[in-house]
């Protein structure tokens, strides 16, 4: 699997902003919590100290994760995305073949930008994997934890 991470400019900027907050605010707050907990004495039975150290560990792991993602990022330009097939950053309009009255629209994005509330699904999700490379008119069966979904691709476009 490729180490490249494909992001929109907005997704890249959101990660940069999160990293900035982690480095310049969260890290400082966590270090203050550790110092405060240390001042209470015996560290071997200090739950406050243990919790602060755990928070520090999680913060540092998230910082490393974001730094890796930003270093591996390729920023995609929506203007250069083709619509002959389903690709990352394309939107698809699907007809539910199990319920003829239902249509659904998804935009395929990287895992880092997925947000089901906004209709953005990861290309690594079961639905995303099944749709990648398909064309308008194709019918797709998608195995999901709750069973199998059946769709027909009605339209492929870029928002």
For range 23-28, the mean pLDDT: 96
For range 107-124, the mean pLDDT: 93
Residues 71 and 119 in one domain: no
- From 42, 75, 108, the end of a domain falls on 75
CATH number of the domain enclosing 55:
1.10.287.180
Per-residue confidence (pLDDT) for residue 1, from 0 to 100: 43
**Mean pLDDT, rounded, of the chain:** 91
Per-residue confidence (pLDDT) for residue 79, from 0 to 100: 86
Per-residue confidence (pLDDT) for residue 38, from 0 to 100: 84
Residues 55 and 117 in one domain: no
**pLDDT band for position 39 (cuts 50, 70, 90):** confident
User: Do the bridges between strand 73-75 and strand 147-157 make them parallel or antiparallel, or are there none, so unpaired?
Assistant: unpaired
For range 30-35, the mean pLDDT: 92
3 state SS of 103: strand
Of residues 31, 137, 35, 20, the one with CA closest to residue 70: 20
Q: What is the DSSP string of 114-144?
A: -BGGGTEEETTSHHHHHHTT--TT-EEEEEE
The number of domains in the chain is: 2
Residues 14 and 61 in one domain: yes
How far is it, in rounded angstroms, from Cα 7 to Cα 50? 36
The H-or-E segment that residue 61 falls in is: helix 47-72
Residue 101 has pLDDT above 50, yes or no: yes
CATH number of the domain enclosing 148:
3.10.50.30
Residues 110 and 140 in one domain: yes
Instruction: Look up the domain containing 106 and give its range.
Output: 78-157
For range 49-57, the mean pLDDT: 92
Per-residue confidence (pLDDT) for residue 2, from 0 to 100: 54
Out of 45-49, 75-79, 115-119, least confident range: 45-49
pTM: 0.76
């Amino acid at each position: 699997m490729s180490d490249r991470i494909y992001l929109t400019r907005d997704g890249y900027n959101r990660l940069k902003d999160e990293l900035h907050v982690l480095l310049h605010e969260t890290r400082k707050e966590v270090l203050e919590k550790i110092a405060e907990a240390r001042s209470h004495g015996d560290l071997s039975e200090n739950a406050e100290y243990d919790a602060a150290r755990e928070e520090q560990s999680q913060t540092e792991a998230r910082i490393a994760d974001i730094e890796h993602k930003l270093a591996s990022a390729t920023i995609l330009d929506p203007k250069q995305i083709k619509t002959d097939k389903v690709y990352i950053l394309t939107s698809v309009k699907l007809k539910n073949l199990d319920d003829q009255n239902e249509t659904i629209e998804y935009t395929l994005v990287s895992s880092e930008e997925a947000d089901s509330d906004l209709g953005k699904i990861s290309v690594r999700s079961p639905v995303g994997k099944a749709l990648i490379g398909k064309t308008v008119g194709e019918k797709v069966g998608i195995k999901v934890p709750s069973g199998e979904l059946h769709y027909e691709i009605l339209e492929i476009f870029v928002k």
